[in-house]
Homo-oligomer: A and B are copies of this chain.
Amino acid sequence: MKVTMKDIAKEAGVSVATVSHVINGTKNITEPKRSKVLEIIEKYHYVPNSTAKNLRTQSTKTAAMVVSSFTDSFVNGMIYGVEQKAREMGYSLLLVNTNEDEKYEKKTINLLYSKMVDGIILSPTSNDIGYLNDFTESMPIVLVNRYNPVVKNAPRVTGDNFRVGYDATTHLIQHGHRNIGVIYAVPNVSTTEGRLNGYRRALKENGIPYDEDHLELGYATVEGGAKAAETLLKKEKDITALFIQNDLMTIGVISKLKELGLEVPEDIALIGFGDSPSAAITAPPITNMVLPPEEIGTKAFESLSKLIDGEAHVENIELPASMVVRKSCGCE
């Protein structure tokens, strides 16, 4: 049988309250007793049962991070940031991957709601997250990366996706391109929408008509990117540049272009998203739009912990976009 606080108390000749107090430093316990208790604890390698403590205190000191995918470096960077901050602040982190499955996301939130965690950081599967309003009143939730303003009482930390789309497109236009295709990862999410808005704005400011046929879905995978590039280029012969919204897709696109005998950036220029270290040594090195995933993660956890501690109003945070210029866009 596992040793409990009661056992420690008995062997030390004190009450459980005393043991609890020396463990938590909740009250002053005089020296002879204190060290006796500590000694017994040491002797048995006693660790308080956190399950009981959780029930009693109505708090678990654990937070959940639920992401919609788990393969690209951007999401990994966010997780890294969240994990780091959580650990630093004494929280454990529960990780859930919804795999872009909306129903599973709902089930997960519902499960998490049962006091298993003190708060949730969520990168939702889609824009349809009105259901969260059933929870935000009584469970701290912060939205990361993707969001929807219909959700009340949940702060968000995101990146400037409009700028991502706008700057990428503008840069390509400055290189003389007028028919720019875009391969996006997922439909119906704020990130994609923001970038597309930026794309359209840049087009408009340069007097280039917007053509919906220049958009293609790439499913955030290497294969999806390759396939999207192929279909896009086949049906839209005039395209000379690509804006690709995810690093895995970019890899697929470059492979496919190579296969098709197309040179980057001579035949097709491209700008990717999310700067993984390999981008510098690919052929050609990839120009990328970047948003800081780790910072999004750490900021998100900071927001969450404020929310957990009951701090009234926590504002939304939007981190700036930047561009790292290499050769795939035509620069050099």
- Determine if A76 is an interface residue (Cβ-Cβ < 8 Å): yes
B residues in contact with A84, CB < 8 Å: 97
A62: nearest residue on chain B (CB-CB)? Answer: B94
Residues 237-255 of A at the B interface (beta carbon under 8 Å): 248, 251-252, 254-255
Once A84-B97, A96-B93 are accepted as A-B contacts, the answer to whether A48 and B114 lie under 8 Å apart by CB is yes
**What is the interface of chain A, defined by CB distance below 8 A to chain B?**
2, 45, 47-52, 54-55, 58, 60, 62, 70-71, 76, 79-80, 83-84, 87, 92-97, 110-111, 113-116, 134, 138, 222, 248, 251-252, 254-255, 258, 276-283
CA of A138 to CA of B84 in the docked complex: distance in angstroms? 29
Which residue of B50, B94, B254 is within 8 Å of A93 (Cβ)? Answer: B94
Nearest 5 interchain pairs by C-beta? A283-B283, A278-B278, A47-B114, A95-B95, A51-B54
A221: nearest residue on chain B (CB-CB)? Answer: B277
* Distance (whole angstroms) from the CB of A230 to the closest CB of chain B: 16
A45 B134 Cβ-Cβ under 8 A: yes
B residues in contact with A134, CB < 8 Å: 45
B80 A71 Cβ-Cβ under 8 A: yes
Once A258-B281, A282-B283 are accepted as A-B contacts, the answer to whether A55 and B47 lie under 8 Å apart by CB is no
B residues in contact with A283, CB < 8 Å: 281-283
CA of A248 to CA of B280 in the docked complex: distance in angstroms? 12
B residues in contact with A280, CB < 8 Å: 251, 255
